[in-house]
Structure 1
C-alpha cells in the first residue's frame, strides 16, 4: 500500500511542479538569437532540478542502505545535471540549483517530494529500490514529453536523448534488483507495456 500511496502523491506533486515552472520567471537572456520558447525553458529548468532530486535521493538511500546501485547511479545523475547546466549557461538561463546543498531545492514541490521519497525508501532495501524505479520512470515520462517540444533545438534534443537512454538503463538496473529481492513493480507514469519493453530489452550503449 505504501508504494501506491507514494505514487499518488508523486502524480499530484509533479503536476503542480510542472505548472509552477511553466508559470514562473524563465530567463535572464536578452539575446534574440538565443531566445527559447517558454515551454522549452520551463522544461530545462524542471529537468535540472529533477536530476538533482534523483542524485540527492540516491545518495541518501546509499547512506541508509549501503546498496551500491544508489552510489553508482548517483554519479550518472551528476553527469545528467552537468549536461543540463551547460544548456542553461548556453542560453543564459537562470539555474534553479544554484549553490543549493544536497537535499535542498528551489521548488517547494520538489522539496516535499524529496522528503516523501526518503520516507518511503528508508523502510527497507526493497522499498528503496521501488523509489529508484519510480524516479527513473518519472524521468522517462518527462523526457519523452519534453522531447516533443524541442524538435527545432537539436542541441537540447541530443541532451534529452542521452538522458533518456540513461534513465532506461537505470530502470533496467533497478528492475533487476527488485526481482532479485523478491519484489515486483507496477509503473504509474509510463504504461505497463512500455515498462516491460524497457526492462526486457538489453542495456543500451552510449552516454548515460
Structure 2
C-alpha cells in the first residue's frame, strides 16, 4: 500500500505539472512539490532520532490521518464538481501524507492509514468529520470551497497545537512544511469563495490570524 501511495503521489505530480505547462499557472501555487518533499525527507533522515513522549506520538499519528481526510474530501469534491482547485490541492496533500509517513517510518510507528480506502478512518473523530464535511460540500460548489477553508484552518490549528507539544527537530521540520502548505491552501480556497460571491468566518483560528493569512502572499518552499 505504501508503494502504491508513493507511485500515486509522483504520478499525480507529473500530471499536475504537465497540465501547468500546457494551461499556464495553476490556482494553488505550491512550487515544485517533488523537490520540496525530497528535501524534507532528506532533512528528516539526516536529523538524529530524539525521544518521543506519548502525546507527541499520538499527534504524529493523528496528523498523518488528518492529512488523509483533506485528500479524501477534496478528491470527492472533484468527482462531484470537476473544478481545478479540487484536482490541484490534493497533489499537495499527498506530499503532506508522504512527509508524515517519513516520520512514522523513522520511529517505527504503526501507520494508522494502513490500507484504508477513501473515506475510511481509524480515528472516530476524523470519521465523523469526513462524513459531515462531504455532506456539507455536496450542497453546492460554494459550500465545497467553504469546506476546503474549514479543513485548512483546522489543519493550521492542529499543526500549531502539535508544534507546541514537541521540540524534536525532525518532527518540527515536517509540521512546518505542512503548515506552510495549509496556509497556501487556505488562501486559495478563500480566493475561490470570494469569486463565488461567498463569505467565510473562521472557526478554529482567530479572525486576526485568518485575515493575516488570506491577505498575505503565497509562501514559497
User: What TM-score comes out, normalization by structure 1 length?
Assistant: 0.81
Structure 1: distance between partners of 2:213 and 2:124: 31
Cα distance, 1:35 vs structure 2: 4.0
Cα distance, 1:34 vs structure 2: 5.5
Tell me the number of residue pairs that the alignment of Structure 1 and Structure 2 aligns.
173
Selected match of 2:180 from 165, 178, 187: 165
**CA offsets per residue over residues 45-81 of structure 1, 9 Å max, x none?**
1100000000000000000111110111111101100
**CA offsets per residue over residues 71-110 of structure 1, 9 Å max, x none?**
1111110110010011001001111001111111111221
Please give the secondary structure, in 2, of the residue aligned with 1:148: helix
Structure 1: distance between partners of 2:68 and 2:92: 11
**CA offsets per residue over residues 119-176 of structure 1, 9 Å max, x none?**
000010000000000000000001011111122x101101000100000000000000
Structure 1: distance between partners of 2:118 and 2:54: 28
Is 1:98–2:78 an aligned residue pair? no
RMSD between superposed Cα atoms in Å: 1.0
Q: 1:185 is matched with which residue?
A: 200
- Whether the 8 Å contact between 1:35 and 1:91 is mirrored in structure 2 is no
Is 1:199–2:214 an aligned residue pair? yes
Unaligned runs of at least 5 residues, structure 2: 1-48
Structure 2: distance between partners of 1:189 and 1:106: 22
Structure 2: distance between partners of 1:37 and 1:125: 42
**Shift >3 Å, 4+ stretches:** none
Please give the secondary structure, in 2, of the residue aligned with 1:72: helix
Q: 1:8 is matched with which residue?
A: none
Q: 1:145 is matched with which residue?
A: 161
Structure 2: distance between partners of 1:42 and 1:150: 11
Unaligned runs of at least 5 residues, structure 1: 1-32
Q: 2:102 is matched with which residue?
A: 86
**CA offsets per residue over residues 29-54 of structure 1, 9 Å max, x none?**
xxxx7541011101101100000000
Please give the secondary structure, in 2, of the residue aligned with 1:128: helix
Q: Which has the higher contact order (CA 8 A, sep 6+)?
A: 2
- Whether the 8 Å contact between 1:34 and 1:91 is mirrored in structure 2 is no
Q: 2:53 is matched with which residue?
A: 37
Structure 2: distance between partners of 1:198 and 1:109: 27
User: What TM-score comes out, normalization by structure 2 length?
Assistant: 0.77
Q: 1:154 is matched with which residue?
A: 169
